[in-house]
Structure 1
Amino acid sequence: MSDPQLPAKTALRDQVLAARRRRPLVELGEASRATAEHLLAAPEVRRAATVAAYVSIGGEPGTSHLLDALAATGTRVVLPRLLPDGDLDWGTWRGSAALAPARLGLLEPEDSLGVDAVASADAVLVPGLAVSGAGLRLGRGGGSYDRALARVPVGTWTCVLLFEDEVGRDVPAEPHDRPVLAAATPAGITRFRPAPA
């Protein structure tokens, strides 16, 4: 039986990815710096001893400025490593020179901290393609981050990095989807109300 949400999610993914491909490189660089500034000023990131983040690729909002700035402040940063089953292991950020090429065009740390290492992060920054007004994140469809977010303790600050026009979209929900508490864009940080318990 096919999921009725899949065509809607696929259409939204295609739309967002097409828009990202049209963004000029100079805009991506400016967006990366602006988003990093907002995140570094956020109290949840400023007071975090450990931040789970990721290395951006392609037309994703850039993370290079953010990773370098976090390291410069002495914050411990852990990055994902994609496992063969689609789950995420985590490794330590030691600078871009210490990253290894991986499948799907990813760059990953070489050490392995285990899949549960994300649970030790005080703030978790994740990629995405869109987010609803309730914090439902649209990813690329593999479910890797939904599994990782399921390991993050309730109350830990989770934030998706996007462009402004990707926030507040109508994101179809599925039972396995894990909402985030905020979205960071070049314009600032949007916080979502947690769903009632």
Structure 2
Amino acid sequence: MSTPQSADSAAAKTALRDQLLAARKRRPLSVAAEAAASLADVALRWDRVRDAATVAAYVSVGGEPGTGLLLDALLAAGKRVVLPVLLPDNDLDWAAYAGPARLTKAVRGLYEPAGARLGVDAVRTADVVLVPGLAASPAGDRLGRGGGSYDRALARVPAGTPTAVVLYDDEVGLAVPTDAHDVRVGFALTAGGVRALQGS
């Protein structure tokens, strides 16, 4: 169930994605590792995460800001962590995270928990939702990979639940092309801190 994009916005999104993905490939591994450590620290200090019983997050892949340390820190802090499972129609099911040893390789180079599936509405049980992206505008417009999976998931999140896109610092505050089906996020979470976005 996807909403058609205008040709102009589709082209603009593709161009921006290509630019940001190229920048991520150029990022030195040492810088990415340092950012991953800082990201976990920042997230655990954020009151929305600190007060949460359940956190919806994801396993980073490729050049994404690293979430491995963050996921383990959330577990160590006693949080219930739910991670996405990509369905054939690009929607997201969810399953509980039980540590890196319980992750399995999935389609498109992704990793998912090996446990029981909780259903697409399980994201509604989260007290805070952390999602991947490539950029965020000052208003909270989020640029994803183009599959629409997270827009569908974010549309299920109850009003008032904090949603944050996890980015590198230089990916926040960019002009992001949008379509009617795009769902805004309230915050950007980076190694440098948590930034409230105007759409929050």
Report the TM range for the smaller structure's normalisation: over 0.9
Matches of 1:36 and 1:6, distance apart in 2? 33
1:59 to 2:63 alignment: yes
Q: Which runs of 5+ in 1 are unaligned?
A: none
How far is 1:145 from its partner?
Answer: 0.1
Number of residue pairs matched by the alignment: 195
How far is 1:193 from its partner?
Answer: 2.6
1:39 to 2:55 alignment: no
How far is 1:194 from its partner?
Answer: 3.1
1:101 to 2:105 alignment: yes
Decide which of 154, 158, 161 is 1:156's aligned counterpart. Answer: 161
Paired letter, 1:61: P
Matches of 2:77 and 2:192, distance apart in 1? 23
Equivalent residues in 2 for 1:10-159, closer than 5 Å: 10-110=14-114, 111-159=116-164
Matches of 1:73 and 1:6, distance apart in 2? 41
Paired letter, 1:25: L
Matches of 1:164 and 1:69, distance apart in 2? 21
Runs of 4+ in 1 over 3 A off after TM superposition: none
Q: Which runs of 5+ in 2 are unaligned?
A: none
Matches of 1:33 and 1:158, distance apart in 2? 21
RMSD: 1.0
TM-score by length of 1: 0.97
Matches of 1:89 and 1:3, distance apart in 2? 30
Matches of 1:11 and 1:149, distance apart in 2? 24
State the Cα deviation string for residues 41-77 of structure 1 (Å, max 9, x = none): 0100000000000000010000011101000011000
TM-score by length of 2: 0.95
Matches of 2:199 and 2:109, distance apart in 1? 33
Paired letter, 1:145: Y
Matches of 1:168 and 1:148, distance apart in 2? 23
Paired letter, 1:172: P
Identity of aligned residues (%): 61
How far is 1:192 from its partner?
Answer: 1.2
